Amino acid sequence: MRLREIAYSRSGDKGDVSNVCVFVDDPADYPLIVERLTAHRVRAHFGGLVEGDVVRYELPIVHGLNFVLDRALGGGVSMTLRVDPHGKSFQSHVLDMEI
Amino acid sequence: MHRRASGGTLAIGSGSAYANDRLALAAAMADSGRVTYLGFDCLAERTMALAHVRRRRDPATGQDERIRRLVPLLRRFLAGGGRVVGNFGAANPDAAVADFVDGLGEAGLHEVRLGVIRGDDALDLVRSRDADLPELGTTVGALGDRVVSANAYIGAEPIVDCLRQDAQIVVGGRLADPSLFVGPICHELDWSLDDWEAVGHATMVGHLLECGVHSTGGNFEDPPYRVVPDPHRLGFPLAEVTEGSAVVTKLDGTGGAVDERTMKTQLFYEIHDPRTYLTPDVTADFSQVCVEDLGQDRVRLSGATGREWPSSLKVLVGVDQGYRATGEISYGGPGCVGRARRAEEILRAHLDELLDPADDVRIDLQGMNSLFGDKGAIADPVEVRLRLAVRTESEERARDAAHEVELLYFGPAGGGGVVTSVVPALGVTPAYVPRELVTLETEVVTS
């Protein structure tokens, strides 16, 4: 099953750091994403897009996870030559993960 | 005199989320009768540096460019005693005030009190300290004349100072986004700016309002899973703020949605550690926030708190990066990817001759690998668009590089739809300075 079927997300940028937060539609699915959506797997999914570490923060009250991707925007919005300098599309990329 | 919020509630609305936001949405909020304050965020990371470049060309500019068009839209709101806080100043707060004064006169509004906040320009400060630029691994001094601007993110203190002097319009430069709302909330509800829990709560409200339609269904839809009504008529959010909780909602008749999902996604937008969201006002903690959907586009949020403000202020430093060239060309039909890759080979051969080894070059095939990199075998798409991006110190080399994409009309078969551009490349990068070194001043003038 793809994450997109049970969750929604948003990505934001600050300098060269992207955050991607993910929330489940049904609170009953929260333990599943805590187990399956590890920082390690997210790091692997984003591959060469992320040069630094991925840190995960759990948000149990709102049934979400916040991933902070360091050095993930090719030098930052104003420096990068990437098509999507803000990493706006990262929120869609994470939802493609198989859980 | 302006009235204090009755019963300990303040209704405050969003007026702008960035420098080119829709003015009609601000007008609708102003004329709704639902709010007594409007907060205008007019800046993104690059906007400040671009404003400094404009001011260098013409010292009378560098402010938000919408003020003269905005004021007539706020005429009734201002005439009724409504108050406006915004970082309209960008690189030139006094020029923004001058635009407001002109606009108010034209709109027939007289003797309006305007507060101006000066002192966020930190260029001399970061130069004299040779401030570190951690994301670039260098210092301000090492970059010399390439450093074109530096502005400290400043907080709610000078806003409250202006409001106490009965300013109806408050204008600053790099006022931090949530602070535009923290100032009015703390002023009207009599919350002390060193009541960290209260300021943390006000910061959460500011964070939910400062991105405009991001809270009401913008940057959210993903059909068929997530759809909101009438996405072409999204409106700005407003908040009814009380001690310890706030209800966020939107105007009747606007599209979009304010629900549990739109609130959660905005609450953690651009947040890293949810316990430690640093602003000039507070170390805010959103980790314990409860999001309660009341239905009918009303959501109650509670549980935000905070700790003492950070000892440093973040400074956004603008750095001249030369020029950025881009060029795009499309290929379609059978074998389009092969022809695009052939075009890439031709392009690289020419760029090897034209460019300096220090220039940055990136070539993507949109439809294949431009957003997430190469993801292995993808079935042959119907069309693909080659995109070249180059950064170079030389405007001439930038133009030559973009021209090479145009010349691909004579490359592999069927290349079409060339678009090219060459623009100055202006980077922004953070530095940090002890907060006590940033000296702010406020002045209230009457139009």
Query: Which pairs with CB-CB distance under 8 Å and at least 24 residues apart come from A87-90?
Result: A87/A11, A87/A13, A87/A18, A88/A11, A88/B219, A89/A11, A89/B371, A89/B372, A90/A11, A90/A18, A90/A20, A90/A46, A90/A49
Question: Is B54 contained in some domain?
Answer: yes
Q: Are B220 and B348 within one domain?
A: no
Q: How many other CB atoms are found less than 10 A from the CB of residue B181?
A: 31
**In angstroms, rounded to a whole number, what is the distance separating the alpha carbons of residues B114 and B112?**
6
**In angstroms, rounded to a whole number, what is the distance separating the alpha carbons of residues B54 and B119?**
19
Which residues of chain B neighbour A59 with C-beta distances below 8 Å? 268, 274, 287
Domain that holds residue B239: 6-119+154-310
Q: Edge-to-edge strand order for the sheet containing B37-40?
A: B290-295, B298-302, B245-250, B237-242, B10-16, B37-40, B83-86, B169-171, B113-118, B441-446
> What pTM was estimated for this model as a whole?
0.96
How many residues would you count in chain A?
Answer: 99
Tell me whether residues A13 and B225 touch, CB distance under 8 A.
no
Chain A residue nearest residue B272, CA to CA: A68
Tell me whether residues B270 and A83 touch, CB distance under 8 A.
no
**In angstroms, rounded to a whole number, what is the distance separating the alpha carbons of residues A54 and A60?**
19
pLDDT value, residue B377: 59
Chain B residue nearest residue A87, CA to CA: B371
pLDDT value, residue A77: 83
Question: Is B269 contained in some domain?
Answer: yes
Q: For residue A60, is the peptide bond before it cis, meaning its omega torsion is within 30 degrees of 0?
A: no
pLDDT value, residue B374: 81
In terms of Cα–Cα distance, which of A42, A3, A10 is closest to A25?
A3
Residues 18-37 of B with CB under 8 A from A: none
Q: Are B103 and B211 within one domain?
A: yes
**In angstroms, rounded to a whole number, what is the distance separating the alpha carbons of residues B38 and B31?**
11
Whether the CB of B276 is below 8 Å from some CB of chain A: the reply is no
In terms of Cα–Cα distance, which of B46, B318, B372 is closest to A77?
B46
B72 and B104 Cβ atoms separated by less than 8 Å: no
Query: Three-class SS of residue B360?
Result: strand
Tell me whether residues A16 and B362 touch, CB distance under 8 A.
no
Collect all residues with Cβ–Cβ distance below 8 Å to B204 and sequence separation of at least 6.
B246, B267, B284, B286, B289, B301, B304
Radius of gyration of chain B (CA): 24
Domain count, chain B: 2
Question: Is B164 contained in some domain?
Answer: yes
Collect all residues with Cβ–Cβ distance below 8 Å to B138 and sequence separation of at least 6.
none
Tell me whether residues B46 and A5 touch, CB distance under 8 A.
no
Tens-binned pLDDT, residue by residue, of chain B (447 aa):
344 444 599 999 999 999 999 999 999 999 999 999 999 999 988 788 889 889 989 999 999 999 999 999 999 999 999 999 999 999 999 999 999 999 999 999 999 999 999 999 999 999 999 999 999 999 999 999 999 999 999 999 999 999 999 999 999 999 999 999 999 999 999 999 999 999 999 999 999 999 999 999 999 999 999 999 999 999 999 999 999 999 999 999 999 999 999 999 999 999 999 999 999 999 999 999 999 999 999 999 999 999 999 999 999 999 999 999 999 999 999 999 999 999 999 999 999 999 999 999 999 999 999 999 887 657 789 999 999 999 999 999 999 999 999 999 999 999 999 999 999 999 999 999 999 999 999 999 999
Tell me whether residues A10 and B370 touch, CB distance under 8 A.
no
pLDDT value, residue B375: 73
Q: Are B304 and B228 within one domain?
A: yes
Q: Are B198 and B328 within one domain?
A: no
Tell me whether residues A66 and B272 touch, CB distance under 8 A.
yes
Alpha carbon of B188 to those of B11, B238, B240, B249, B409: distances in Å? 10, 16, 12, 20, 63
In terms of Cα–Cα distance, which of B265, B261, B286, B268 is closest to A26?
B261
pLDDT value, residue B203: 98
Smallest CA–CA distance, residue B239 to chain A, in Å, is 20
Question: Is B89 contained in some domain?
Answer: yes
Question: Is B143 contained in some domain?
Answer: no
Q: Are B48 and B88 within one domain?
A: yes
For the domain spanning A3-94, the CATH number is 3.30.70
Which amino acid, B386? L
**In angstroms, rounded to a whole number, what is the distance separating the alpha carbons of residues B96 and B87?**
9
Which residues of chain A neighbour B271 with C-beta distances below 8 Å? 12, 19, 21, 66
B39 and B188 Cβ atoms separated by less than 8 Å: no
Question: Is B194 contained in some domain?
Answer: yes
CA B180 to chain centre: 13
Strand stretches in B296-406, DSSP E? 298-302, 305-307, 312-332, 360-366, 383-392
Which residues of chain B neighbour A2 with C-beta distances below 8 Å? none
pLDDT digits (tens, 9 = 90+) for A38-87: 999 999 999 999 999 999 999 999 999 999 999 999 988 888 999 999 99
Question: Is B146 contained in some domain?
Answer: no
Alpha carbon of B227 to those of A16, A58, B216: distances in Å? 30, 26, 12
Instruction: Using the Cα atoms of residue B176, residue B179, residue B184 and residue B187 in order, give the sign of their dihedral.
Output: negative
Whether the CB of B291 is below 8 Å from some CB of chain A: the reply is yes
Q: Are B78 and B55 within one domain?
A: yes
Q: Which residues of A touch B (CB under 8 A)?
A: 4-5, 8-10, 12-17, 19, 21, 23, 25, 46-49, 55, 57, 59, 61-62, 64, 66, 68, 75-79, 81-84, 88-89, 92-93, 95
Q: How many other CB atoms are found less than 10 A from the CB of residue B300?
A: 17
Q: Are B215 and B111 within one domain?
A: yes
Strand stretches in B101-218, DSSP E? 113-118, 132-133, 138-139, 147-152, 169-171
Q: Are B210 and B179 within one domain?
A: yes
CATH number (domain holding residue B412): 3.30.70.1150
Tell me the ipTM for this assembly. Answer: 0.98
Residues 352-371 of B with CB under 8 A from A: 360-362, 364, 366, 370-371
Question: Is B149 contained in some domain?
Answer: no
Q: Are B306 and B324 within one domain?
A: no
Smallest CA–CA distance, residue A15 to chain B, in Å, is 7
pLDDT value, residue A5: 97
Compare CB distances from B135 to A16, A48, A49 and report the shortest one's residue. Answer: A16
Say if residue B144 is exposed, middle or buried (CB neighbours under 10 Å; 0-12, 13-18, 19+).
exposed
Q: Are B287 and B420 within one domain?
A: no
Q: Are B32 and B11 within one domain?
A: yes
**In angstroms, rounded to a whole number, what is the distance separating the alpha carbons of residues B278 and B265?**
19
Query: Three-class SS of residue B165?
Result: coil
Chain B residue nearest residue A50, CA to CA: B372
Tell me whether residues B226 and A76 touch, CB distance under 8 A.
no
pLDDT value, residue B3: 42
How many residues would you count in chain B?
Answer: 447
Collect all residues with Cβ–Cβ distance below 8 Å to B250 and sequence separation of at least 6.
B216, B235, B236, B237, B238, B256, B258, B297
pLDDT value, residue A80: 93
**In angstroms, rounded to a whole number, what is the distance separating the alpha carbons of residues B210 and B237?**
9
Smallest CA–CA distance, residue B66 to chain A, in Å, is 23
Residue B294 parent element (H or E) = strand B290-295
pLDDT value, residue B50: 86
